[in-house]
Amino acid sequence: MPRPKKKPASAELSKTPTGITGFDEITRGGLPTGRPSLICGEAGAGKTLFSIEFIVRGATEFGEPGVIMAFEEKAEDLETNVSSLGFDLRKLQKDGLVYIDHVHIDRSEIEETGEYDLDGLFIRLGYAIDSIGAKRVVLDTIENLFGGLSNDGILRAELRRLFRWLKDKGVTTLITGEKGDRHLTRQGLEEYVSDCVILLQHRVQAQISTRLLRVVKYRGSLHGTNEYPFLIDEEGISVLPVTSLH
Amino acid sequence: MPRPKKKPASAELSKTPTGITGFDEITRGGLPTGRPSLICGEAGAGKTLFSIEFIVRGATEFGEPGVIMAFEEKAEDLETNVSSLGFDLRKLQKDGLVYIDHVHIDRSEIEETGEYDLDGLFIRLGYAIDSIGAKRVVLDTIENLFGGLSNDGILRAELRRLFRWLKDKGVTTLITGEKGDRHLTRQGLEEYVSDCVILLQHRVQAQISTRLLRVVKYRGSLHGTNEYPFLIDEEGISVLPVTSLH
Amino acid sequence: MPRPKKKPASAELSKTPTGITGFDEITRGGLPTGRPSLICGEAGAGKTLFSIEFIVRGATEFGEPGVIMAFEEKAEDLETNVSSLGFDLRKLQKDGLVYIDHVHIDRSEIEETGEYDLDGLFIRLGYAIDSIGAKRVVLDTIENLFGGLSNDGILRAELRRLFRWLKDKGVTTLITGEKGDRHLTRQGLEEYVSDCVILLQHRVQAQISTRLLRVVKYRGSLHGTNEYPFLIDEEGISVLPVTSLH
Amino acid sequence: MPRPKKKPASAELSKTPTGITGFDEITRGGLPTGRPSLICGEAGAGKTLFSIEFIVRGATEFGEPGVIMAFEEKAEDLETNVSSLGFDLRKLQKDGLVYIDHVHIDRSEIEETGEYDLDGLFIRLGYAIDSIGAKRVVLDTIENLFGGLSNDGILRAELRRLFRWLKDKGVTTLITGEKGDRHLTRQGLEEYVSDCVILLQHRVQAQISTRLLRVVKYRGSLHGTNEYPFLIDEEGISVLPVTSLH
Amino acid sequence: MPRPKKKPASAELSKTPTGITGFDEITRGGLPTGRPSLICGEAGAGKTLFSIEFIVRGATEFGEPGVIMAFEEKAEDLETNVSSLGFDLRKLQKDGLVYIDHVHIDRSEIEETGEYDLDGLFIRLGYAIDSIGAKRVVLDTIENLFGGLSNDGILRAELRRLFRWLKDKGVTTLITGEKGDRHLTRQGLEEYVSDCVILLQHRVQAQISTRLLRVVKYRGSLHGTNEYPFLIDEEGISVLPVTSLH
Amino acid sequence: MPRPKKKPASAELSKTPTGITGFDEITRGGLPTGRPSLICGEAGAGKTLFSIEFIVRGATEFGEPGVIMAFEEKAEDLETNVSSLGFDLRKLQKDGLVYIDHVHIDRSEIEETGEYDLDGLFIRLGYAIDSIGAKRVVLDTIENLFGGLSNDGILRAELRRLFRWLKDKGVTTLITGEKGDRHLTRQGLEEYVSDCVILLQHRVQAQISTRLLRVVKYRGSLHGTNEYPFLIDEEGISVLPVTSLH
Ligand SMILES: Nc1ncnc2c1ncn2[C@@H]1O[C@H](COP(=O)(O)OP(=O)(O)O)[C@@H](O)[C@H]1O
Ligand SMILES: Nc1ncnc2c1ncn2[C@@H]1O[C@H](COP(=O)(O)OP(=O)(O)O)[C@@H](O)[C@H]1O
Ligand SMILES: Nc1ncnc2c1ncn2[C@@H]1O[C@H](COP(=O)(O)OP(=O)(O)O)[C@@H](O)[C@H]1O
Ligand SMILES: Nc1ncnc2c1ncn2[C@@H]1O[C@H](COP(=O)(O)OP(=O)(O)O)[C@@H](O)[C@H]1O
Ligand SMILES: Nc1ncnc2c1ncn2[C@@H]1O[C@H](COP(=O)(O)OP(=O)(O)O)[C@@H](O)[C@H]1O
Ligand SMILES: Nc1ncnc2c1ncn2[C@@H]1O[C@H](COP(=O)(O)OP(=O)(O)O)[C@@H](O)[C@H]1O
Ligand SMILES: [Mg+2]
Ligand SMILES: [Mg+2]
Ligand SMILES: [Mg+2]
Ligand SMILES: [Mg+2]
Ligand SMILES: [Mg+2]
Ligand SMILES: [Mg+2]
C-alpha cells in the first residue's frame, strides 16, 4: 500500500561537508550541522587526524573557521604532526582561520571530583569560538573530561550538558573518544547521547592491517552503513565508499 | 492423543497495530494493547525511530493520540530527525495528536539516589496522557531513569512500579533500552519484567552491515521467533517477515 | 563381572507427570514427587508457560490442585496470557483447583536486607496450599526472593531453607530462575541446591531460532540427557524426545 | 643414556580401589590411600553419585566402612536417590558399614565469618569415623564450608588445615566441589591443595550430550590423562578407559 | 580533484634511527626525535632487548649517548644479559656513552600513594642525562611508576606530566610497558598518551612460536602498519619488513 | 651490512643443567646459574615434579646439594610421591645432599597483612642453604607467600625483594607458580619480575591430552621458543626438543 509522501513543516537536517574524500559521500553531505558528533577508535586509529582534517578543510575549502581544543597534544606538536600532509596549521592560526587551545589538565584538577570542571571549559571554549567566529569545533579527547567519573547517571547528565552547550553555540563539533572494552567508548555512554557516531578501526588479519570506517549512527539521516576501508597517506584521509548506500 | 480445545472465559490478549510494515505480521497484530513493551539495541540500532513511527502511525493511521517522553533529544531535534521520512511531528502536535515532552535530567537530580524521581515522572506523564487522551506512550530511554541504581532487588521493584503504573493507565507503551554487555539491556532485568521484548541488531559481517529484528519474548502470544532483516529508508522502517511464523 | 542386583529396602523415587507432551517421556515419568525442581532460561524461554502448563494439566488431567505464586505477573495477566492455549485459569480458580497468589514486592521490603522475607512467604504459601489441598506449587521467579543477596554462604543457606520447607510440605514444586552470565542461574547456586534442573534455551543460528530443552540434572533418576527441541503452539508446549534416553 | 633404577627406601604410594568400573584401571588402582581427593564438575555432573558409589562399593566389595558427610541432601534423600541403582544405604547403615551425617548449616552459622566452623566439623566427623571404624570419607560439598571466604591466603590455610586433619585421620577421602567460572572449582584453590583431582564434565555438542571424566592431577602416580567417556545407568557409574594410559 | 600541495611553514617531524635492522625502514627513519615512544608486550616479548639495542646502537653507530633507567634489573645483570649479543655495556659506560641507573623501589615508597614519586625521578634522570649529554633515554618499565594508581583521571595527568618532562628535556625516549588484559598496556591509557606505540607479540600456533612487531601508532608519520616477523639472535633484533609500507 | 662481533668484557650468563632430558638442550644448558626462575602451570601440570627432579638430579648427577622449601606438601608426602620414579629423597636427605623444609602457614599468619612474613622466610631458608651448602633451591609455591596481597605496586616490590635475596645468596632457584585467569600466574606480575619463565601446559583436544612445555622468557639467552611436548613416566620428565632452536 503506497503511502502519500507528506511535505513536513519542520526543517530537514542540514549537513556540513568535512572535505574528507569519500566520507561526505557516505554520509550524503558530511556531519550534522550545528550538532556534536563522536569519532571513536583505538590508539592510532586516526581520530585526531580525521578531526584536524575536518578543521583544516573547513577553513581552506569551505571558509569556515575552526577551533581545536586539544587535551593531549600541544599546538606545536599538532602542527608538526600534520605538516607532512600539507596542512599548515601555523599559517591558518595566523590567518585567524584556526584557533588551537591546548588545555593542560593537572592532577590536582581531577583529584577531588574525578572530572574536569565543565564550566571553566565552556568559558574558555566560548572565548575561542567567538574570537574567530568559529563554525567548527574539535574536542580531543572526551576521556580527559570525565575519565574519573564512575556513576553512570551523573556521567550521562554531564555529557548531555556538554552536548547541549555545543548545540546552543550552533557549532558543528567533532569529539574524539577512546575505544572501550566492550562498548564503542571507554565509558559506553557517549555513543547513546551523541547524534552521530563514527567508528574507526584497525583490523589485523593474517598479519595484514586494514583501516576501516563505519558510521554507527546518524540521527535524522540516511547513510552508508557498511564498513568502508580508508587510507592515511600524504594527502590525509581518504575513505573508499565502495558501496555508498546499502 | 487429541485434547479437546476448551473455550476459555478469560479475555484473550488484544493487540495494537504499529503500522510498521512487516512488524504487525510477525507479531500477529502488533504490540500488546495496554501493556508496556521493551525495544532494545545498541546505539544507532533504530530504537528511537521505531518508537516514533509507532506514535506517528498510531496518530495518522489508527486515530490513536500518542505521548513521547524523550530524555535524550529535544522536541525540535526529534522533529528534524524524522522530517525526511515524511513524519510531520510539529503538525501532529498542533493537531493534538502527539505530545512531546523533553525531560531534562540534571546532575543534581541523580546525585543523591542514583535514580530519577519516579513519582514526579508519573505526574508529568499522567498530565501529558490526559491532555490529548493518549492511547500510546513512548519512553526514550529507560536508562535515564535508573542508570545509577546498582541493587538488583530495588531496581526490579522500581521497574515493576513503573510498568504497573503504565498498565493501570491502560496505555500501550514502548520503552527503549540500551544494549548491555551480556544481557539484552544494560542492567539485565528489564527484559524479565517486560511483557514483550524486541531486539534490534546491527550485524557487520565481511564489512557488510545488516539490520535485524527479533521478538525475544511476547507473553500471551504466538509470534515469529526468527531474526528478520529490516530496512530504514525514506519511508521509515520496514521489516521483512521472510517466514513470519516458525 | 556381573553384580547381583540387590532389592533395596529404601523407597524408590516417585514421579509426578507434568502432562507436557514429550517431557514425561524424557524424564521417565515427570518431576520428582514432593521435591522442588528448577527451570531456568533467558527472558522468553518459556519458563512461565511451562510452569503454568504443569499446574493446569495437574489440575485437569491428574486431579492435583496447584498453587501459582507469581512475583512478576498479576492473576489477570496470567489468565490472559494462557487463554489462547485453551487454559482457563479463571475457571480452575473458581473450581478450587488452582490458586494464584500475586506477591507484590515493594522497594521498601528489599531496601534493608536485600532479600524478601522468607518467613512471611512461608505463611502465605502455606495458607494457599492448605486452602485447596495443593499437590503442586510454582514459584515464578526465584530472583525476586534473593536478588539483592551477595554473600554466597548466606544465599545457599536460605535457598536450602526454602527448599527444605517445600519438601516438608510434600508438594511437587517448580521454581523458575533467570539465566546468568556464566552459570545456569543469575547467582549460580540454585542449580546445585536443586534436585532437578531443567534448562530452556532459545538458540539463534543463521537467523533461524530454535527452542531447546535439556534436563541438566535429576537426582535419583535416569533421564534423557541431550538437548531436545520443543515447540510452543496453540496447544501449549510439546517436547520432541527425538532420542529419549542415551 | 640409561639411568640405573635405584630402589628407594621410602614407601610407594598405596591405593584404594573405588570399585567403579574403569576408574581403578585409569588410575592404576584407585584413589590415594589415606589422602583427600577432589572431584569437581557442574550441577548434575555426577559428583555425588561417584562419591556414594565409592562408599557403597568400599563397604560391600572391600569391607571398608565409610562416612558420608552431606551438606546438601538428607540421609533419606540420598537413600532414595541411589536405591534404583541397587545401593541399599539404609541396610548398610544398619549393618554399621556406612554412616551418613547430614550437616544442616544455618544462615546464622555463616553470617559472621563467612565460613562454617571447622573445629566443630572435626569433632563431628571424628566421632562418625570412630563409631564405625571408617576407612573412607565423603564430604559433599566443600563450598558449604568456605563459600563466603574471600581472602585467598586464609582460604588456602583453612583448606590445608582440613586436608591435614583428614590425612592425620588416615582416611581415604573424596571431597566434591562445584565448577567455577574459569577454574576447576568455584574458588580456584582447592585443585592446587589436593593430592588427586578428578573432573567430571557434561559436554553438549550438536544437541548430543556426553559425560566425560578426566584425572587432572594425581600426585605420586602414573595415570591415564585423557578424557574418558562414562555412563550412569542402572548399575551406577562405568568409565570407559578407551586408552587407559597415554 | 587534485589538491595543490602547499609547503607548510611548520617543521616536519624529525626521526632518530634505532639502528635495529628493519625497524628504521618500517618507520621511515626510526623513532620520533625528542619525543617519548612506548614499546609494549608480554613477558619475554623483547621489550628490554629492543630498548637496550636502541641505546647501544645509538652510542656506537650514531654517536648519541644514552641513559637506561632500569627498575627491574641491575646494571650488572643487564650487562650479562646482552653480552652474548656483542653489546659491551660496561665499556660503553666507562667511555661515557651509556649511563645505567638501577632504581630500587622499596615497598615503603609505594605504600602510601600507590605510585613512585615522579619529582624524585625527574631529578635523578635529569642528572643522568646531563652527566653524559644523553640524547636517548630508556625507562624499563613504566608499571613500576604507576602500578598502584587506580584513578584513570589522575593516572592520565601523571603520564602526561612524565611525557611532557621528557619532551622538554629534548631526549628521544623509549618506555617499556607490560601487556594488559584487553588493552595494549596494563592500565590501558599509556597508548593514548604516547606519540608512538610499538607492540611486540609472541604468537604460538600449532606449537610453533613466532615473534611479531607492529607499529600501532605513530603521530605525524607514515609507517608500515602490518605485523612484521622479527628474530632475536646472536646479532640482536632484526625485523623483516616484508612489505614495508601498505 | 656485516657488523664486527666485539668481544665483551662482561661475563656471559652461565647455566646450571637440570638433568631433565631435553630441557637442557632447549635452553642451551639449563637454568640461569645464581638466578631465580619461575615455572608455572595449572594444577597437575608437573611443576612440583619438575622442581624436585631439578633438585634430585642436581644432587645425584652434578654434585650440587639442594633445598626444597615446600608450602603445600610435607617431606614424607614428597618422598612418597617421587619414590616410584626412583628418586630416594630420604636417602638424599640423610646424605646431606637434599634439605626439605615444609613450611606450615597458619591462618593467623596471613590474617593481618594478607601475606607471609618474608624476613622470617629468609632466616629459615638461609639456614637451610648454609647447612648443606646448597647450590639449588626450590620454592613450591609462590602463591603461599603473597596470595592475599592485592596492591600491584607492593606485590612487585616484595617479589623483587625475594628475588634479590635469592640472587645475593647465589643459588639457582626454581619457584613454582599457579596459572592465572589471563596471565601466566595468578597475580600476573611474577613473570615480568623473573629472569626465566617456563610454562607447563596440559592441553586436551578431541579428548586426548598432551603435556607441553614452553620457555616463555629467558633473559640473556637464546633458547627454543616453541611448545615442546613432554612426558612424565617411570623415569621422571622428558621433554622432546623436536626442533630445539627456531
Ligand atoms: N530521517 C532518517 N532517514 C533515514 N534514516 C534515518 C533517519 N533517522 C535515523 N535514521 C537511521 O536510523 C538509525 C537509528 O537511529 P535511532 O533510532 O536514533 O537509533 P537508536 O535510538 O537505536 O540509537 C540511524 O543511525 C540512521 O542510520
Ligand atoms: N498464549 C501463548 N500462545 C503462544 N505462545 C505463547 C503464549 N504465551 C507465551 N508464548 C510464547 O512463549 C514464550 C515464553 O513465554 P514465557 O513463558 O512468559 O517466558 P519466560 O517466563 O521464560 O520469560 C513467549 O515469548 C511466546 O513466544
Ligand atoms: N538413581 C539414579 N539412576 C540413574 N541415574 C542417576 C541416578 N541418580 C542420579 N543419576 C544421574 O546422575 C546425575 C548426577 O547426579 P549427582 O551425582 O547428584 O550430580 P552432582 O552431585 O554432580 O550435582 C543426575 O543428573 C542423573 O542424570
Ligand atoms: N610418581 C609419579 N609417577 C608418575 N607420574 C607422576 C608421579 N607423580 C606425579 N605424576 C604425574 O605428574 C603430574 C603432576 O604432578 P605435580 O608435579 O604434583 O603437579 P603440579 O605441582 O603442577 O600441580 C601428576 O598429576 C601425575 O600425572
Ligand atoms: N603526518 C602523517 N602522515 C601520514 N600518516 C600519519 C600522519 N600522522 C598520523 N599518521 C597516521 O595516522 C595514525 C593515526 O594517528 P592519530 O590520528 O593520532 O590517531 P588517534 O588520534 O586515533 O590515536 C598514525 O598512527 C599514523 O599511522
Ligand atoms: N643475550 C640474548 N641472546 C639471545 N636471545 C636473548 C638474549 N637475551 C634475551 N633474549 C631473548 O629475548 C627474549 C626477550 O627478552 P626481554 O627483552 O628481557 O623481554 P621483555 O623485556 O619483553 O620481558 C628472551 O626471552 C630471550 O628469548
Ligand atoms: Mg589522538
Ligand atoms: Mg535513541
Ligand atoms: Mg516468566
Ligand atoms: Mg551433588
Ligand atoms: Mg623486560
Ligand atoms: Mg605442585
Closest CA to C173 of C197, C148, C208, C149: C197
Residues of E within 8 A of A116 (CB-CB) are 153
Distance from CA of B79 to the nearest CA of C (A): 34
- The verdict on a CB contact (< 8 Å) between E226 and A207 is yes
Ligand 6: centre distance to CA D216 (Å) = 33
Closest CA to D65 of D153, D172, D163, D143: D172
For residue C220, the chain D residue with the least C-alpha distance is D81
Q: Can you tell me the distance from the alpha carbon of D191 to that of F40, in angstroms, rounded to the nearest whole number?
A: 15
Residue B246, pLDDT score: 44
Interval B103-116 mean pLDDT: 81
Assess whether pLDDT exceeds 70 at residue E244.
Answer: no
CATH for A33-200, options being 3.40.720.10, 3.40.50.300, 3.40.50.620, 3.40.50.150: 3.40.50.300
Query: Is the distance from the beta carbon of residue D217 to the nearest atom of ligand 4 less than 6 Å?
Result: yes
For residue C208, the chain B residue with the least C-alpha distance is B226
pLDDT tens sequence across B13-67: 999 999 999 999 999 999 999 999 999 999 999 999 999 999 999 999 999 999 9
Who has greater pLDDT, B16 or E106? B16
Considering only CB atoms, F209 lies closest to which of D7, D10, D246, namely D246
- The verdict on a CB contact (< 8 Å) between B11 and C80 is yes
**Interface with E, mutate which of A107, A109, A208, A230 (most E CBs under 10 A):** A107
A143-160 residues labelled b (16+ CB within 10 A) or e (exposed): bbbbbbbebbbbbbbbbb
Residue A246, pLDDT score: 44
Mean pLDDT over the full length of chain E: 91
Q: Which of A80-89, A141-150, B185-194 has the highest mean pLDDT?
A: A80-89
Ligand 3: centre distance to CA D41 (Å) = 12
Sorted by where each begins, the domain ranges of chain E are 33-200
Local confidence band at A4 (pLDDT 50, 70, 90 cut-offs):
very low
- The verdict on a CB contact (< 8 Å) between C194 and D143 is no
Residues of C within 8 A of D48 (CB-CB) are 219
Q: Are residues B11 and C83 in contact, defined by beta-carbon separation less than 8 angstroms? A: yes
Ligand 9: centre distance to CA E127 (Å) = 70
Residue identified by cell 587534485 is E2
Residue C245, pLDDT score: 46
Ligand 8: centre distance to CA D129 (Å) = 66
Residues of D within 8 A of C158 (CB-CB) are 107
Distance from CA of B123 to the nearest CA of C (A): 20
Residues of C within 8 A of B221 (CB-CB) are 84
Query: Is the distance from the beta carbon of residue D19 to the nearest atom of ligand 3 less than 6 Å?
Result: no
Q: Which residues fall within 8 angstroms of residue B61, CB to CB, at 6 or more apart?
A: B19
Query: Is the distance from the beta carbon of residue C222 to the nearest atom of ligand 3 less than 6 Å?
Result: yes
Q: Are residues B101 and B93 in contact, defined by beta-carbon separation less than 8 angstroms? A: no
Cell of E190: 599509556
Residue D197, pLDDT score: 97
Q: Can you tell me the distance from the alpha carbon of A232 to that of A243, in angstroms, rounded to the nearest whole number?
A: 20
Which of the ligands is closest to the CA of residue D13?
Answer: 4
Residue F243, pLDDT score: 64
Angle between helices E47-61 and E75-83 (to 10 degrees): 80
Considering only CB atoms, F107 lies closest to which of D12, D158, D184, namely D158
Per-state percent for chain A, helix, strand, coil, to nearest 5: 35, 25, 40
**Interface with B, mutate which of A10, A167, A223 (most B CBs under 10 A):** A10
Q: Can you tell me the distance from the alpha carbon of A209 to that of A232, in angstroms, rounded to the nearest whole number?
A: 13
Query: Is the distance from the beta carbon of residue D245 to the nearest atom of ligand 4 less than 6 Å?
Result: no
Q: Are residues D18 and D57 in contact, defined by beta-carbon separation less than 8 angstroms? A: yes
Q: Who surrounds ion ligand 11 at CB < 5 A?
A: E 47-48
Ligand 5: centre distance to CA E216 (Å) = 10
Chunked into runs of 10 residues, chain D (246 residues) has average pLDDT values of: 48 93 96 97 97 98 98 95 96 98 87 81 96 98 84 88 95 95 86 95 92 97 96 95 62
Tell me which residues of chain F have a pLDDT lower than 70.
1-10, 243-246
Kindly list the protein residues whose Cβ atom lies closer than 6 A to any atom of ligand 5.
A 41, 43-49, 81-82, 84-85, 232; E 217-223
Residue B203, pLDDT score: 93
Residues of D within 8 A of F83 (CB-CB) are 8, 10-13, 220
- The verdict on a CB contact (< 8 Å) between D6 and F86 is yes
Residue owning the nearest CA to atom 12 of ligand 4: F46
Residues of C within 8 A of B9 (CB-CB) are 88, 90-91
Residue B78, pLDDT score: 97
For residue E211, the chain A residue with the least C-alpha distance is A207
Distance from CA of E165 to the nearest CA of F (A): 23
Considering only CB atoms, D178 lies closest to which of C158, C192, C222, namely C192
Which of the ligands is closest to the CA of residue C245?
Answer: 3
- The verdict on a CB contact (< 8 Å) between D147 and C153 is yes
Cell of C229: 527441541
Interval A169-180 mean pLDDT: 95
Assess whether pLDDT exceeds 80 at residue E137.
Answer: yes
Residues of E within 8 A of A48 (CB-CB) are 219
Assess whether pLDDT exceeds 90 at residue A122.
Answer: yes
Task: Evaluate whether chains B and D are touching (3 or more beta carbon pairs less than 8 Å apart).
Answer: no
- The verdict on a CB contact (< 8 Å) between B86 and A152 is no
Task: Evaluate whether chains A and C are touching (3 or more beta carbon pairs less than 8 Å apart).
Answer: no
pLDDT tens sequence across F177-230: 999 888 888 888 889 989 999 999 999 999 999 999 999 999 999 999 999 999
pLDDT tens sequence across E2-46: 454 455 455 789 999 999 999 999 999 999 999 999 999 999 999
Q: Are residues D200 and D213 in contact, defined by beta-carbon separation less than 8 angstroms? A: yes
CATH class for domain D34-200?
alpha beta
Query: Is the distance from the beta carbon of residue C220 to the nearest atom of ligand 3 less than 6 Å?
Result: yes
Residues of A within 8 A of E13 (CB-CB) are 80-81, 83-84
Ligand 5: centre distance to CA A82 (Å) = 9
- The verdict on a CB contact (< 8 Å) between E217 and A147 is no
The CA-atom distances, in angstroms, between F205 and each of C198, D198, E207, F182, F228 are: 29, 18, 13, 20, 16
- The verdict on a CB contact (< 8 Å) between E220 and A80 is yes
Residue C56, pLDDT score: 98
Q: What is the dotted CATH code of the domain comprising C15-239?
A: 3.40.50.300
Residue F3, pLDDT score: 52
pLDDT tens sequence across E228-238: 999 999 999 99
Q: Can you tell me the distance from the alpha carbon of F201 to that of F33, in angstroms, rounded to the nearest whole number?
A: 25
Cell of F113: 597483612
Considering only CB atoms, B81 lies closest to which of A153, A161, A219, namely A219
Tell me which residues of chain C have a pLDDT lower than 50.
1-2, 4-5, 8, 244-246
- The verdict on a CB contact (< 8 Å) between D107 and C218 is no
Q: What is the dotted CATH code of the domain comprising B32-200?
A: 3.40.50.300
Residue owning the nearest CA to atom 6 of ligand 3: C221
Query: Is the distance from the beta carbon of residue E41 to the nearest atom of ligand 6 less than 6 Å?
Result: yes
F184-206 residues labelled b (16+ CB within 10 A) or e (exposed): bbbbbbbbbbbbbbbbbbbeeee
Q: Which chains touch E (3 or more CB pairs under 8 A)?
A: A, F
Which of the ligands is closest to the CA of residue E51?
Answer: 6
Q: Are residues E132 and E161 in contact, defined by beta-carbon separation less than 8 angstroms? A: no
Ligand 7: centre distance to CA A140 (Å) = 7
**Interface with A, mutate which of E26, E193, E197, E219 (most A CBs under 10 A):** E219
Residues of E within 8 A of A115 (CB-CB) are 153
For residue F57, with 0-12 CB atoms within 10 Å meaning exposed, 13-18 middle and 19 or more buried, which class applies?
buried
Cell of D208: 548430543
Which of the ligands is closest to the CA of residue D73?
Answer: 10
- The number of beta carbons lying within 10 Å of the beta carbon of residue F27 is 27
pLDDT tens sequence across B135-182: 999 999 998 888 777 788 888 889 999 999 999 999 999 999 999 888
